[in-house]
Amino acid sequence: FGGVLPIRVQDREITAGQTVTVEFTAADLNLLGYQFTLEFAADKLYLVEVLPGLATIDNFGLSFLEEGVLTTSWHSPEAVPMGDGQALFSLSFQAQASGNLRDLLAVSSRYTQAEAYDGSEEVLDLQLTFDGQTLVDNFQLYQNRPNPFREQTAIGFQLSQPEEITLSVTDAAGKVVWRYQGAYGKGYHEVQLDQLPAKGVYYYRLETATHTATRKMIYLD
């Protein structure tokens, strides 16, 4: 990447039942386009509405909202001068639980690669910042897709730095039935799984030197 485009959000504490409008703003530059995947905690935030700014509803993909995923892509044939703090778009959420926005929102390349393009057609990395602070730690383990599954499923994860990972699957009794190890760079990755002994409920666990996360999945056989 030739630089970084920070997408800014004002951090705030939200409470269950509250409807909150979150404005996503950009820095002062000439912008040709941007695209990224926005992750939100679907168990704590319910998306009510996409409010236009530079982008409109047509610039969003809404197919994965149940997973807590919103994709967006905006491009212009000519560079658009962005004033500092100008809104790219806003999202209206209803809070299902209390928390801080910085813990509930993240940018990734899970479905749409996170990048932007300035007026000289330079490709920029794209980062979400809260009150000027960049989220350095963007480790995530995602729900497998599809789930439940019969033949094959994809387990996605996001790393904030290059790391060695161990991905393991255990049955309901806690027995390890599948294990995989590998080295991956920063960003989004997927591992395909098609080797489970019998139908039932399983738990998959991602471990690195600094993080551990576990999720549940269902194999239909």
Q: Where are the extended beta strands (E) located within the chain?
A: 4-9, 13-14, 19-25, 29-40, 45-52, 60-61, 69-82, 87-95, 99-100, 105-108, 115-118, 123-130, 133-134, 140-141, 153-159, 163-171, 176-184, 187-193, 200-207, 212-219
Q: Quick one: pLDDT at residue 183? A: 96
CATH among 3.40.228.10, 3.40.30.160, 3.30.200.20, 2.60.40.2550 for 140-219:
2.60.40.2550
Instruction: Output 197 or 186, whichever has higher pLDDT.
Output: 197
Q: Show me where the domains of the chain are located.
A: 4-134, 140-219
- Whether residue 6 is preceded by a cis peptide bond, meaning omega within 30 degrees of 0, is no
Please give the structure tokens belonging to residue 156.
Answer: 């996605």
Q: Quick one: pLDDT at residue 133? A: 64
Would the pLDDT of 2 be above 80? Answer: no
Q: Quick one: pLDDT at residue 103? A: 85
pLDDT in tens, 4-59: 888 999 999 999 999 999 999 987 788 999 999 999 988 899 999 999 999 999 99
pLDDT in tens, 128-154: 888 766 555 578 888 888 889 999 999
Q: Identical fold at 4-134 and 140-219?
A: yes
Identify the architecture of domain 4-134 in CATH.
Sandwich (2.60)
pLDDT in tens, 96-128: 999 999 889 988 888 999 999 998 888 998 888
